[in-house]
C-alpha cells in the first residue's frame, strides 16, 4: 500500500495542507494492526484479513485485483511460457512454485482462503524470505513467481522488467481499508487525513497504478480545505 500511496499523500499534504503534520510508518500487516491497537498511529492502511471490530473502525478504500507476477527475462522458462498472456486461472497457479508469505501475513491468509475455497493446493517455495523486495528481485531474475496487487509492482511494470497476469476463475481480490482505533476520539485531523487518503486512492486507481474497484466509504470532508494545525500519524504496509 505504501508503494502506491505514500508519495501521493505527501504531495497532497504539502500542497493543500501545509499545517497538517503527516508521519508515515511502514511495516507488515500484523505489526500495523498492533500499532493501531496500542495507539502508536492514528490511521492504519491495511487489509480485510486484519480487521478486528472490537477496536477498529474500518473505512473501505478499494477492492484490489491480484496478479501473477513474472520477470521479463528471455532466459526464464516462466517468461517464455507466460509472455503472451494477460490472465491466468487460479487453478493454473498450481503448476508453478510460488514465492508466497506465510499465514502470519495478510497475503498469506488470502492465498490460503482461495486454496480452501477452490480446493486447489498451490506449491509454496519454502526458500522465500517473506521480504517483498527480495522476492521481486528473484522474480525479475527469473527465479520465481509471486502473487501481488498492482500497487506493489506497477513501477516495475512501467520499467518493463516484470509482467503481470490477472488471476481469474475466480477473480482473486481483496479489500484494502483505512482503520482507526474506535477506543479513541476521532479528531479533525484524522477525519481530514481519511479524506486525503480517499482522494489519493482514487487518483492512483484512475491512472492504473492501483487496479481494482473503488469503495470509498470514508467520512466526507473537503480534502483541499485549509486552515487548521494538527497532526496525524498514518501506518501503511
Per-residue pLDDT, 232 = 56
Confidence category of residue 178, pLDDT binned at 50, 70, 90: very high
Looking at residue 76, its pLDDT comes to: 92
The pLDDT, as a whole number, for residue 83 is 95
* Residue 131 confidence (pLDDT): 84
Q: What pLDDT does residue 211 have?
A: 98
- pLDDT confidence band for 229 (50 / 70 / 90): very low
190-220 pLDDT per residue, tens? 999 999 999 999 999 999 999 999 997 544 4
Tell me the pLDDT tens digit for each residue of 62-73: 999 999 999 999
Q: Output DSSP code: residue 50.
A: G
Phi, psi for residue 212 in degrees, rounded to 5? 160, -170
Helices and strands, number each (H, E), in the chain? 7, 11
In tens, the pLDDT along 1-43 reads 888 999 999 999 999 888 888 889 888 888 999 999 999 999 9
* Average pLDDT over the chain, rounded to an integer: 89
How far is residue 98 CA from its own chain's centroid? 19
Pairing state between β 56-71 and 212-214: antiparallel
pLDDT band at 226 (very low <50, low <70, confident <90, very high): very low
pLDDT recorded at residue 228: 32
Cell matching residue 139: 522474480
pLDDT band of 109, cuts 50, 70, 90: very high
Instruction: Please state at what angle helix 188-206 crosses helix 2-16, rounded to 10 degrees.
Output: 120
**Fold that domain 65-173 belongs to in CATH:** D-Maltodextrin-Binding Protein; domain 2 (3.40.190)
Predicted confidence at residue 56, as pLDDT, reads: 94
Q: Give me the residue spans of the domains in the chain.
A: 2-57+176-236, 65-173
Amino acid at each position: 500500500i505504501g508503494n502506491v500511496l505514500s508519495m501521493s499523500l505527501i504531495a497532497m499534504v504539502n500542497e493543500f495542507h501545509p499545517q497538517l503534520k503527516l508521519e508515515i510508518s511502514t511495516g507488515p500487516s500484523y505489526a500495523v494492526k498492533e500499532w493501531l491497537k496500542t495507539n502508536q498511529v492514528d490511521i492504519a492502511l491495511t487489509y480485510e484479513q486484519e480487521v478486528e471490530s472490537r477496536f477498529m473502525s474500518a473505512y473501505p478504500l478499494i477492492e484490489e485485483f491480484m496478479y501473477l507476477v513474472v520477470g521479463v527475462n528471455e532466459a526464464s522458462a516462466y517468461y517464455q511460457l507466460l509472455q503472451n498472456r494477460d490472465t491466468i486461472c487460479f487453478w493454473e497457479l498450481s503448476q508453478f512454485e510460488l514465492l508466497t508469505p506465510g499465514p502470519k501475513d495478510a497475503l498469506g491468509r488470502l492465498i490460503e482462503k482461495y486454496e480452501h475455497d477452490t480446493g486447489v493446493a498451490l506449491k509454496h517455495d519454502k526458500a522465500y524470505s517473506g521480504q517483498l523486495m527480495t522476492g521481486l528481485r528473484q522474480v525479475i531474475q527469473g527465479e520465481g513467481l509471486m502473487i501481488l496487487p498492482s500497487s506493489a509492482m506497477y513501477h516495475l511494470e512501467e520499467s518493463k522488467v516484470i509482467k503481470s497476469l490477472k488471476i481469474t476463475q475466480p477473480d482473486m481480490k481483496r479489500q484494502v481499508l483505512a482503520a482507526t482505533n474506535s477506543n479513541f476520539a476521532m479528531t479533525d485531523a484524522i477525519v481530514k487525513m481519511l479524506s486525503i487518503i480517499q482522494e489519493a486512492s482514487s487518483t492512483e486507481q484512475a491512472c492504473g497504478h492501483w487496479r481494482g474497484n473503488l469503495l470509498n466509504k470514508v467520512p466526507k470532508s473537503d480534502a483541499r480545505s485549509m486552515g487548521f494545525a494538527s497532526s496525524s500519524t498514518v501506518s501503511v504496509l
